[in-house]
Structures are given as structure tokens and as C-alpha cells.
Amino acid sequence: MAYLKIHPEKITPQAAQELVGLCPFSAIQYENGRLEINAGCKMCRMCVRKGPAGAITYEEDPAPAHEIDKSAWRGVAVFAELRDGDVHPVTLELLGKARELSAVTGHPVLSVLIGSGVEEQAETILRYGADRVYLYDDLLFRNFLMDPYAGAFEDFVEKVKPSSILVGATNMGRSLAPRVAAHFRTGLTADCTVLEMRENTDLVQIRPAFGGNIMAQIINPAHRPQFCTVRYKIFSAPAPVEHPTGTVERMPLPETCRHSRMELLEVLEKPRQTDISEAQVIVAVGRGVKSQDDLALARQLADAVGGQLACTRPLVEAGWFDVKHQIGLSGRTVNAKLIITLGVSGSVQFAAGMRGCGCIVAVNKDPAAPIFDIAHYGLAEDWYTVVPAFLRALGRGEGQ
């Protein structure tokens, strides 16, 4: 891994000011006699090439002394998450993808299931493609606590040694996977949109980067296991098998699971909201909505077509919507049968979150809007005119 190294003994106030002025990204700061490089650095190395000699140098970590024995790590594993006692749908989607990846290497599809009284759920996981389910079943796991769950997950990795591990990018997955990956001093790629497998078992993890402007291909050839998280609705769940041939292996509870720094005092049920990721019909609004009062018209359309109202990021930032209603890289990924966009320009970030929808209908008065590049049907008209006309046609407009 490459990095920039500051040599304090060569940083004079004059040299520091010169370096600050050189950086085209304002990533070099000099405060209280200390020079620092912040997260804005793009590794252009302008400071190395044109700055005071030796003040900042470009360094690379040495290659590992020996390569990892990849043959000791076998299998594509899926962390099986439960939601309200049932297997979370993202787990089923990941099992389907794991089956595709394992076909390249001939490795088995594995799954680790942690819970209390979950034998039936283990059978469900077998029906959706797992060759073996490693079951940690104990009253200790009746509620999610980080320390016990991480202890069981780490025990699974140490004993089974899967080469790749797929985890759903849910609240649980996003908190659990980084901790387990850090325990094994290996990498983790978050929010992957494409996964590919090489014959040498290197997992190619592809995700949007730089605001969605490029697709980064990330591999972890020098470490095992390879961790990644994937959002719900990115992949498709396979059809279940009526008579699965896989097996369930009960795992003894490791002693580390019984030592937790956390104590659960109370569980409070949060009012459940319908997730737009589950919606089959969506009406999405964007910058073309002039005022918050105008959302009533869009909501009327959503009601008329039996859909949910969603939005783009600017409307969340304006305080008009909760982030749970946002579509895009920093919001939800949706896979609706029908999505109608009103006044949405169609930025790369937004498009990445809804590209898989069955039918995309776009209404935007700008004929050059990027949304028309991915829409199945487009109307280059003002949505304030189109929606009332459509509602009247449905018998839902004023005067009907």
C-alpha cells in the first residue's frame, strides 16, 4: 500500500507554506507548527515532485514476506441474518450469488447461522443453495449483541476457513462484518454491486467510487478470508430446492461468546415503516419539485397507482424526507416493477440505486436530462402538467 510520509525535521515554516500552496486539493494543512495531510489527498504527488526536497516522500509498504496458502481456505460463505425470526431476504440473494461464484472454483457454498431456536431457518438456507450450514444455536443469541455474535462468527472463520465471506449490508451486517474482518487483519469492501470470482479464488469486488463516477475493482490477493457486504435487492434470490442435499453442522459455543462488555437492559419495539426496498411501485421526486407543498400532488399520484413516495438526496438534505425514503448510493437500492420519476435529473448516484427496476417512466421538462438514458418511457414535459392530466384520466383528479 502506498502513502505519503512527512519528514518533520525538514518542515520549516517557509517549507510548510510552500507545500500548502502547492496542493491543488487543499489537502495539506499547517497549524500550530504541525504539517498534516488530510482526507482530501488524491495522491497526485505534486508535493513530492515540486515541494522542498525530502520534505514529503512517496512510500510503499513492502510486499509480504510470503504469500498466503490459498489452498488452505475453501468455500464461499454467507452470513445468514434473521429478521423477525425469518431468514432475511438479502441472505437468500447472497446464497444465489455464492452458488455462481463457487461454480468457478468448485468450492462449496457455506453459511453461518447464529441464533436461538433456529433449526427450521437452517433448513431454509439449505433449500436456497447452501451445501453446509454451520449452526450456532443458544439462548445467548436470542437478541443481537456484538460481542457474542462476533465471537461465534470468528470461531466459524477460524475452524472452517472459508475463502470468501458475503454479508448483507444491513444494520447488523455493517456493524458485524468490519469487526470480524479486523480481527483477522483482512480487508472488507462495502456495498458491492458486482462480484466475480477468479480461478485462483481471488474475489473481484466491484463497487461505485468517487461519487459513482467510476466502478472500482478491488481484490485482496495477499490475505484470507475476503470480506464484502452487499445491499439488499442487488442480486436475485434463487428458486428454492424441494429436496436439498446439504447438511447442518451444529457448532459448540466458544467460550469467548460468554464474555461480553455489553448488557441488554430492555428491548423497545420501534414503529415499523414500510421499506421502499420492498415496494413494487414507486413514485420518486427530485429537484423539479418547487416546494414542499407540491409533494401532495406527487403523493396523490403514488396513491393512485398503489405505490410509495420516494426521493433523491437533495430533498432529504432539504428536510422534506427521511433518509429511509432516499434512492441512490447513499440511500436505498430499489428493484420495483414500476418506478415513475418526477423532476428527477438522473444523476449517477441516483441511477445506481434504481437501475434494476422493471419499468422506468421519467417525466422531466429538460430533454437532455440523464434520466432519459435509462428510462424505458420518457416525457420531456413539466410534471406539474403531466401528473394532473394523468390523474384525471384515472378518474382521480379534481372535479371527478
Question: Among 342, 329, 333, which residue's Cα sits nearest to residue 378?
Answer: 342
Q: In percent, how much of the chain has pLDDT > 90?
A: 78
More confident residue, 227 or 270: 227
Q: How would you classify the pairing of strands 2-6 and 34-37?
A: unpaired
Q: How far apart are CA 207 and CA 216, in angstroms?
A: 6
User: Residue 2 has what pLDDT?
Assistant: 79
* Residue 20 burial (10 A CB sphere; 0-12, 13-18, 19+): middle
User: Residue 316 has what pLDDT?
Assistant: 93
Mean pLDDT score, 261-267: 84
Q: How far apart are CA 387 and CA 381, in angstroms?
A: 10
Is the pLDDT score of 318 beyond 80?
yes
Place of cell 418511457: 377
CB-based contacts of 292, cutoff 8 Å, min separation 6: 318, 320
- How many alpha carbons fall within 13 Å on the CB side of residue 12? 6
Mean pLDDT score, 46-68: 84
C-alpha cell at 111: 453459511
pTM assigned to the model: 0.76
In the chain the domains, ranked by start, together with CATH numbers, are 2-60 (3.30.70.20), 70-258 (3.40.50.620), 276-393 (3.40.50.1220)
What letter would DSSP give residue 326? Answer: B
Identify the helix (H) or strand (E) that includes residue 178: helix 171-183
Read off the pLDDT band of 399 (50, 70, 90).
Answer: very low
Q: How far apart are CA 93 and CA 316, in angstroms?
A: 29
User: Residue 65 has what pLDDT?
Assistant: 53
pLDDT tens for residues 111-138?
999 999 999 999 999 999 999 999 999 9
